[in-house]
């Protein structure tokens, strides 16, 4: 395994970074924390790339800001920094849990959350939580900007819908409603540095009578992209939270999964995991919703 020759660019502005991406086209990639792209280059999983455009020197990408609508997280914010942020801890414990289950502390302190979305691996730990929380990304191509829901970012395994010259500059996390509980559960084969064999994010919104007004179950590592389970989400809406209802939602979520069979687990095993993780995630989500939210 060797590292191919690459030229590192460290532009000081977004515009220059986008210009470089346009200039070198398929030969260039964005470099954020490097925990994926450098491994991909060494392992020849990404070929034909000889230009890396670092985001390190671009101002304004390291901050987490509170806006009128929610939190705005810069592209260079690491999972470790996010998990230590007071407002994220208060408003999004499910994200903090997902970060805690991701890789080991070295990777979490180097990687970026934006890179986790941009890499678009089916087993991402953070994407299911961003989807369940209705997060959006801000994309910037130098002269144009657009916003996309995280759920609409993925086109397939390791494939996003981003244009080649678009940089994900911010993740936008809307404030959760007070009656909402979010949760993330993952199964990996080890305690640390374990890629998800299956992951489930659950979101429950309760009405004043404690009934489920809206629900969302998002599956990770069991389909080509992190995706909502339509059957489980639709089944839960309008029902009273409880063991039987959560069991059935787990069964339906397992039906919606499209797992692969590999060294980490068979497709049947992964379906069983989805069922169990959905029940666990729903129990935690309803507890959080009943306590007033998050
Ligand atoms: C040992 C190890 C264990 C791991 N375990 C886990 C795990 O348990 N769970 C998990 O979810 N992940 C895991 N990962 C994956 C990895 O850490 C994440 O995907 C990471 O968040 C990627 O962020 P990065 O900043 O390092 O991205 P980089 O490696 O810098 O970039 C990744 C890809 O995204 C593109 N990119 C990055 N930032 C942007 C941007 N702002 N705009 C546009 N494109 C961009 C790059 O061009 C590249 O194609 C692990 C990685 C390692 C090495």
129 close to ligand 1 (CB < 6 Angstrom): no
Question: Which ligand 1 atom sits closest to the C-alpha of 107?
Answer: 17
pLDDT for 1: 64
29 close to ligand 1 (CB < 6 Angstrom): yes
pLDDT for 87: 98
Contact (CB, 8 A) for 46 and 29: yes
75 close to ligand 1 (CB < 6 Angstrom): yes
Torsion of CA 263, 100, 76, 174, to 10 degrees: 110
148 close to ligand 1 (CB < 6 Angstrom): no
32 close to ligand 1 (CB < 6 Angstrom): yes
- In this predicted structure, the answer to whether residue 3 has a pLDDT above a threshold of 90 is no
pLDDT tens digit sequence for 82-129: 999 999 999 999 999 999 999 999 999 999 999 999 999 999 999 999
Mean pLDDT of 217-231: 97
CA-CA distance, 40 to 31, in Å (whole number)? 12
pLDDT tens digit sequence for 44-75: 999 999 999 999 999 999 999 999 999 999 99
- In this predicted structure, the answer to whether residue 19 has a pLDDT above a threshold of 80 is yes
């Amino acid at each position: 395994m060797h590292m191919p020759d690459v030229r590192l660019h460290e532009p000081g502005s977004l515009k220059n970074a986008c210009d470089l991406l346009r200039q070198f086209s398929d030969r260039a990639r964005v470099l954020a924390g490097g925990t994926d792209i450098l491994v991909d280059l060494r392992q020849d999983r990404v070929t034909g790339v000889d230009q890396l455009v670092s985001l390190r020197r671009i101002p304004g990408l390291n901050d987490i800001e509170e806006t009128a609508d929610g939190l705005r997280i810069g592209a260079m914010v690491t999972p470790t920094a996010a998990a230590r942020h007071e407002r994220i801890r208060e408003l999004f414990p499910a994200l903090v849990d997902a970060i805690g289950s991701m890789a080991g502390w070295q990777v979490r302190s180097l990687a970026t959350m934006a890179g986790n979305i941009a890499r678009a691996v089916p087993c991402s730990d953070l994407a299911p939580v961003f989807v369940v929380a209705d997060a959006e990304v801000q994309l910037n191509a130098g002269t144009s900007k657009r916003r996309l829901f995280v759920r609409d970012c993925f086109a397939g395994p390791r494939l996003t819908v981003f244009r080649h010259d678009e940089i994900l500059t911010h993740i936008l996390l809307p404030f959760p409603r007070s009656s909402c509980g979010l949760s993330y559960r993952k199964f990996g084969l080890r305690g640390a540095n374990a890629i998800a064999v299956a992951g489930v994010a659950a979101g429950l919104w309760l009405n004043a009578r404690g009934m489920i007004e809206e629900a969302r179950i998002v599956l990770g590592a069991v389909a080509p992209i992190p995706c909502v389970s339509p059957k489980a989400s639709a089944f839960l809406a309008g029902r009273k939270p409880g063991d039987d209802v959560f069991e059935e939602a787990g069964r339906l979520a397992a039906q919606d999964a499209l797992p692969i069979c590999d060294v980490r687990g068979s497709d049947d095993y992964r379906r069983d995991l989805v069922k169990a993780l959905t029940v666990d995630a729903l129990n935690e989500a309803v507890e959080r919703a009943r306590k007033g939210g998050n």
